[in-house]
Amino acid sequence: MPFTIVIGTQWGDEGKGKFVDLLAEQQDIVVRYQGGNNAGHTVVVDDKEYKFHLLPSGVIQGKRVLLASGVVIDPKVLLKEITALKEKKYIINLGIDVRANIIMPYHILLDLAREKAANKPIGTTGRGICPCYEDKVGRRGVTFFDLIDPVRLQQRLDVIYPEKKALLEKVYNEQLLSSNEQIISEYSVYGNQLKQYLTDVSLELSQNSNNKILFEGAQGTFLDVAFGTYPYVTSSHTIAANAFVQAGIPSEKSMIIGVAKAYTTRVGSGPFITELSADNYNKTENTSDSANNALIGDYLRKQGAEYGTTTGRPRRCGWLDLAMLKESTRLNGFTALAITKLDVLSGLDEIKVCTSYLFQGKPLENFPHNAVLLEQCAPVYKTLPGFKLTPELIKNKTLPENAVQYLRYIQKNVGVPINFVSIGPERSQTILYENGVE
Ligand code: GDP
Ligand code: IMO
Ligand code: MG
């Protein structure tokens, strides 16, 4: 199987970056294929922390890294990442698909203006992702092909700019301070600096079909624009099948690894059935008080350093949701699971796992297809005994029996082997289970 696809099973930040870095050692090419710098992927190697928003996490392993046509690219952010790595003496073997769309300054302004004007904001990362994808499908986008030629860029922007200016100023009462000419001259410089990396990713992948290719998913399954908790989603398809569409190659049977946190987090708005907050208390059928609920949520946030890599926002925290993992498996076709941040649960007396939902008091068979329906669900929990992972156990990569029992429970319910378990942010803090957890 030449392809491996790494996918977030929840609402993002599952630890995909860590696994892409780990798996990249055995790969030839690592490809990002959707999303943009709304992503924040953290890799920790030998106590050094790297945060990537656009560059595929395989870059530290010195692999060929590609940004496929489906990625929306803020050239300023990309140049900053390239410079930071070059300063650390890394060799960057990067290819950018010439078809990829550029995030322009008006996209960022529109993203922020819409959030400000909305009565129910999505809680976006404010990086211009949605307006850029809108322009792509609306055929008003600026691609790298346009960016590298000032004449073509001018021709594109002469049509696009007046509309954006009017939209910002007349609808949202916001100023687009840069003139068309200023944008053209600033962005032509970026085009010039990035020109050296341009390639045809679709063609390159076809011509290297004997290579081992790893696709690095961004965001998570429940942020998929169609199959996530719509409308509280991102603006691209995050599920595995999209890797082939965005890279421009025929689909093939692949190893598809679902990365799942041992609990659940979410940044931004939208339903979160197992959230451990005082507000969400009345949804749980449990008798513990709401303050205790919030305390466990705070405990997970603190232990897991659950603050967004991109925006620094505190992440909402809650118990693991197996109904979500099962739906994620149905949508992506996982062949393996990677469970991350198991160490974060250490120290809790008991651990709850949501096994299914009740909808209007009755068991629900299929996962709700919409945020409105999901909001009306209540979790059914199974309680499992807690465990303690001491630094010594982590160092020896040994798990206490109750931790193994927790993993077995997940594996049995989801029906996919857990091949990897992460017990710390370091690349080396990973346990491999070739045949699943026994
Ligand atoms: P991604 O967006 O899916 O790549 O995930 P992020 O990088 O945004 O968030 C995951 C965070 O958890 C990062 O800070 C990682 O360094 C960290 N991390 C990954 N795996 C583990 C783990 O097993 N234990 C702990 N404590 N931290 C982890
Ligand atoms: P990684 O790849 C977590 C969330 C935002 C918001 C929604 C829409 O690090 O897992 P957008 O800016 O995309 O229009 O915001 O999606 N979101 C993420 N949450 N991890 C991410 O990426 C995310 N990318 C977007 O918080 O709720
Ligand atoms: Mg992240």
Q: What is the DSSP string of 169-185?
A: IIIS-----S-HHHHHH
Helices 150-166 and 105-117: crossing angle, nearest 10°? 20
Rounded CA separation 408/353 (Å): 12
Q: Which atom of ligand 2 is nearest to the CA of 124?
A: 15
In what order do the strands lie in the sheet containing 93-97?
Answer: 198-199, 93-97, 64-67, 29-32, 213-216, 3-8, 255-261, 336-340, 418-422, 430-432
Rounded CA separation 224/233 (Å): 6
What is the three-state SS of 338-395?
EEECHHHHCCCCEEEEEEEEEECCEECCCCCCCHHHHHCEEEEEEEEECCCCCHHHHH
Q: Which ligand is nearest to the CA of 39?
A: 2
Q: Which residues have their alpha-adjacent CB atom under 5 A from ion ligand 3?
A: 13, 40, 309
Rounded CA separation 167/173 (Å): 9
pLDDT in the model for residue 287: 45
Both tokens of 350, joined, read 């008991």
Hey, whose CA ends up nearest to atom 9 of ligand 1?
13
Please provide the size of the chain in residues: 438
Percent of the chain having pLDDT more than 70?
97
18 Cα–ligand 1 center, Å? 7
**Coil, strand or helix: which one is 167?**
helix
207 Cα–ligand 2 center, Å? 33
193 Cβ inside 6 Å of ligand 1: no
57 Cβ inside 6 Å of ligand 2: no
Rounded CA separation 423/290 (Å): 29
CA 102 from chain centre, in angstroms, equals 19
Q: What does the pLDDT average to over 373-388?
A: 96
Both tokens of 315, joined, read 């992440």
Domains 3-98+197-257 and 260-432 are alike in CATH topology: no
Q: Which ligand is nearest to the CA of 423?
A: 1
**pLDDT band, very low/low/confident/very high, at 282 (cuts 50, 70, 90):** very low
pLDDT in the model for residue 416: 98
16 Cβ inside 6 Å of ligand 1: yes
Q: What does the pLDDT average to over 150-176?
A: 96
CATH number among 3.90.170.10, 3.90.1150.10, 3.40.50.12280, 3.40.50.2300, domain 260-432: 3.90.170.10
Give residue-wise pLDDT tens across range 55-105: 999 999 999 999 999 999 999 999 999 999 999 999 999 999 999 999 999
344 Cβ inside 6 Å of ligand 1: yes
The one-letter amino acid code at 301 reads: R
284 pLDDT more than 60: no
CA distance to 118, 131, 261, 342, per residue, from 394 (Å): 46, 44, 17, 10
* Residues 57 and 425: beta-carbon distance below 8 Å: no
Neighbours of 210 (CB within 10 A): 8
Q: What angle do CA 376, 381, 385 make, to 5 degrees?
A: 155
Of 283, 259, 262, nearest to 271 by C-alpha is 283
12 Cα–ligand 2 center, Å? 7
Q: Which ligand is nearest to the CA of 17?
A: 1
CA distance to 279, 297, 371, 390, per residue, from 290 (Å): 8, 11, 24, 29
CATH number among 3.40.33.10, 1.10.300.10, 2.40.50.140, 3.40.50.970, domain 101-194: 1.10.300.10
Rounded CA separation 286/275 (Å): 13
CA 26 from chain centre, in angstroms, equals 22
Torsion sign (Cα): 45, 48, 53, 59:
negative
Q: What does the pLDDT average to over 195-203?
A: 98
266 φ/ψ angles, rounded to the nearest 5 degrees? -150, 140
pLDDT in the model for residue 278: 76
340 Cβ inside 6 Å of ligand 2: no
Domain segments of the chain: what residues? 3-98+197-257, 101-194, 260-432
Burial class (CB in 10 A: 0-12, 13-18, 19+), 181: exposed
Domain at 3-98+197-257, CATH homologous superfamily = Adenylosuccinate Synthetase, subunit A, domain 1 (3.40.440.10)
**Residues identified as active-site:** 13, 41
- Given the structure tokens 């004449």, which residue do they identify? 151
Q: CB-based contacts of 87: which residues, under 8 Å, 6+ apart?
A: none
312 pLDDT more than 60: yes
